[in-house]
Structure formats: structure tokens, C-alpha cells
Structure 1
Amino acid sequence: MVKKRRKIKRRVLEMPLSKYQSICYKIFGKRASKSTQIAYIKRAIERAYIEVRPEAYIAYAWMNGVIGAVAGVAFIFIYLFLLPGMGIILPTKLLIIVIPAPILIGAMAYLVTMMIPESKANSRKKDIDNKLPYALNFLAAMASAGVTPALAFKSLAEQPIYGEVQKEAAWIYRDMSIFNIDIVTALRNAANRTPSIKFQEFIQGAITTITSGGDLKKYFFAKSEEYMRENRRNQKEFLETLGVLAESYVTVVVAAPLFLIVMVSVMSMVGSGGGGSSLLIMYMVTFIMLPLAHLGFAVVISSMSPEV
């Protein structure tokens, strides 16, 4: 049993890297371990549930920046030598954009890579906030059956339907079962690394209840009811906002383009010599403005949609 636990612990500590990340770590690993961004990126990848060492991720970001800069140099070479050799002459004004391409592309690749953990953490936060009321119902039901908190979090960790809450519960149970950490410390660690303020408040309340000898079953039920009421209120507000968006959609995306197309068509028939520009406007409305408007409304509604 001890050997098995040691194997599991070793497997948890050894965070796997892809082949590309391994190459990045071999090249930049030593320098990355001395980076001033270690603390920031460690916090970010924990919140994002990315199983990569901080120095390995920084090395990965540096390598992406270097590759972006090399791509920028290749772009300059193509612009200055390859295209003229093929008889393609581009305006010299484009040199203002082409010359700084290595710096711009490299910096963009580096910054995008460093922003990925925070983006994933925000996505996890939204998923945790959406599924937390239902996960608390599960914990309350387990507490009603007389199950200990450790086994309750273990059972929650085996329920993938709860999304990122299930991963948070898995981390809590991992700390208790593999690292032999007491439940209060495991919960405190979970509160420090979670991206969700709601889940953090719930964990801190659970710590207070446990240390003060309170009734966890009542606490779970109370928080479940509180979050369910808040969830219903959020869904009601979303439906009201969705009604406003539906009216805006009909006005902006359906009625306005039809009115514009009819108006341009009439003006092109009445006027003289403006058929080419009128046709260009209709093409822009049909193939650029309308798809972008549809996409914009879809993205806004998708980002606002709460968990039902």
C-alpha cells in the first residue's frame, strides 16, 4: 500500500510535458527558473488547472516568442528578396509594417502564450460559478447520509457532470489521500488556488464550520439554497437581457440591412452612373456586415448564457 501511494505521489509530482515543451525546457529551462515571473505564472497555471511546471511554461512562452521573431525575419526576407525576384513589386510604404515584423510577431506570440492561463482561469471561474449550486446539493445530500467531508469530496470528485467543481474536489481529496494533509489545510489550499470567488467563500465558510465544531450538513444546505436563489435571479436577469438583445437583433441585423439594400437599389435605379458603387455597397452589406453582425450577437449571447 505504501509503495502504491509512493508511485501515485511520484506520478502526481511529475507533470508531463509535450515533446515541444520538453525541447523548450531543455533550451530555456535554467534561465526560466530564475525569471521574475515565476510567482505570477505559478499562480496563473494553478488557477487554470494547467499541469505544467512554471519554469517549463515560461520556457515555452519564450520559445514561442523566438519562433514568432524568426517568422517575422522570414517575412522580411520574402518581402525584400523573394517577391521582387518573382517580379512582384509591393508598395514601399509597406516597409513601415514589414520592418518591425520580427519584434511585433515575437512579442505577440509571447504575450498570447502568457495570457492563455488567465484566459483558461476565467473560463474555469465561469464554469465553477455555474455548477456550484448543483454541486452543493450533492454535498448536502452526502452530508445528510452521514458521510465524512473527505468521502463527500471524494464522491464529488467522481462526478464529471459538475465540470470544474469536480476537478477542485479532486484536488482537495488528492491533498488528503496522497499528501496526507488534514482537511482544513487541504480546504485552505483549495481556497487559495481556485479562480472562483464563490467557491473560495464556500470553502472558507466550510473551514470555519469545521474548526468551530458546527454542523456541516446545515452549512451545505444553507449555501446550496443561497446559491440556487442567486442562480435563479441570474437566469431571470439573463432572460430579460435576452429579450432586449432579441429586439436589437431584429432591428439591427434583419430590418436595417433590408432597408439599406432596398434604399441603395432604388437610388441606383433612379440615379445615373452610380451602379458600380451601389453594387459594392450591397456586396459589403451582404458578405461582410451581415456575417459579422450575426457572429457578434452569437458571441455575446454565448458569453452571457448561464448554466441551466
Structure 2
Amino acid sequence: MSAPRRVWIDTDPAITAGNGEVDDAFALIQALRSPELEIVGISAVFGNTDIDHTYAMALEIVTRAGRGDVPVYRGCGIAGDRSPNAATRALAAALTDAPLTILALGPLTTIAATLGQPDAKRENVEEIVFVGGRREGLEFRATPTQQNQFGDMNFECDTAAASALLALDIPITLAGWEVCAEMWLTPNDLDRLRDEGDPCAQWLATSARAWQSDWQREFGAPGFTPFDTLAVGWLLMPEAFETHKWPSEIRHDGKRPLFVVDPACDGPEVTYLRAVNNDIFHDDLMTRLLPG
């Protein structure tokens, strides 16, 4: 068996902030329960909610998952912040030890602040897997009846950070809306986590119920999309994904900033996750969320 892959996770969990977005929590527990990954650190960043909440929730999730051995650090709290903090220092130190992969599940602020330092060991970044980006012309709608499309929030929260990282010639993989939107967790899946899971899985199910109901009510969706779990899945089972290496660019369409990939773009090449084998991925995710 090969050695576990060293991974740093940067995340903005909001699962218990009122009716907060739940996918970061699912992805964190998925990763923490994957022996193929050595989670060397987790940093909380602003995004789905403020930094006070994301940091507290990251600590809670690690505790609930029974992984108190994984350190959690407080990262950047506002867009554009490039000043040192506990998370940037810890990530920089982890990079001096050995190569690692960075899972970017939230805005790229803390990662840009770390890798933008003159002495950063950027050559030790094997890959940044970012939940963001789109193909040319792609709209973010959960169902055809959704009137107002979603924003590319992780990117839009700090577009300058994305631009800075693209300029560093580091391998970047985009797990954007297109691949994530193929995957659903349904009420039946939450029932299974509740009925068959340990206390951590049961907490996930209970906490996600309102979020799932909102998607069903507002969009007519069969469940909700656990976006960030696709980024973790890419590290665990890349053979389940259809990928393309395409050039990218960051621009504005008059309404919003866009992080676009297309053969016609003229910027740095990235790996774009376009599709996933839903059955394989879904079964693997549920198995990891249900220990035993």
C-alpha cells in the first residue's frame, strides 16, 4: 500500500450557522475518514459565514469526527488580506517539510497570502484543488426552474487571490459547478446517515435536513449538491472523473467576475473536472461517511 497523500484543507464551514451551507462539513468528514489522506492541517477562512464561525465550526467538526490529532488554524477573515496569521504560518511550515496537496474549499485568500510570500516553498505544492471555475457560457442553476443562478462564490469572494495563484505556475485543478451539480444527496441518504451512522454521521444528517428542504422547496431539487465532496473525491478516486486540460482566464462579463476555462482562452492551463461517475462516487462517499 502506498503512503497516504499529504493534504492541507482550507475551508469555510457554515453547517451550524443558522441554516448554513453544509457541504464543507460533509467534505471534511469524508476526508478525515479516508486513510488514503494524511490531513496535516486545516485552516478556516471567511466565506459562507464570518471567520469566527468558520473557525469554531472547523474545530467542532474535527472533534465530532474523532480526529483531535488534526490541527485547525484560523486564517484570513476578509478578502484581500495578505498579512501573516496562524494559518499562513502553519501552511508555510507544512510546505517546508514535504510536498503536499491543498484542497481549497473556500475563498483562496489564505492560500494566496501563504504562497505569495517570497520565501514560500511553492515547489512543494503538488496541486491546488479549488471548488470553483466554469466552462465558457455555463450557468449555475440547480434545476431548470431556478430563476436566479448561483454565483461562483469561492472565486467571487476574492478574485484577486485567484489571479495571484494562477500567476504562480502551480498545478491547479478546478472542481467547479459542472461536475459538482451532477451529484445529489437526497432525503433517503440523510435517513441512512441518521439510521445507520455513528453520532458524527447522525449530526451531519440532522444539521443538513433544513438545507435539503430549502433546495427542494426553492428549486424543486431531489436533494442538495455536496459541492466540496467532489474535490475530496478527486484525490481519492480520480479514475471516476472526466477531465480536460484547458487554458483559463479571469475576466468580467459586465455583471460578475468569471473564472473561465475553454480551449480558446489564453491564460494558464488548468485541469478541469467536467463529469463524474455518479454511482461510483455516491457509493464511495456514503461508505466513508458511515464508518464501520
Structure of larger gyration radius: 1
Q: Hey, which of these two has a bigger chunk of helix by percent?
A: 1
Higher relative contact order (CA 8 A, sep 6+): 2
> TM-score, normalization: structure 1?
0.23
> TM-score, normalization: structure 2?
0.24
Q: Hey, which of these two has a bigger chunk of strand by percent?
A: 2
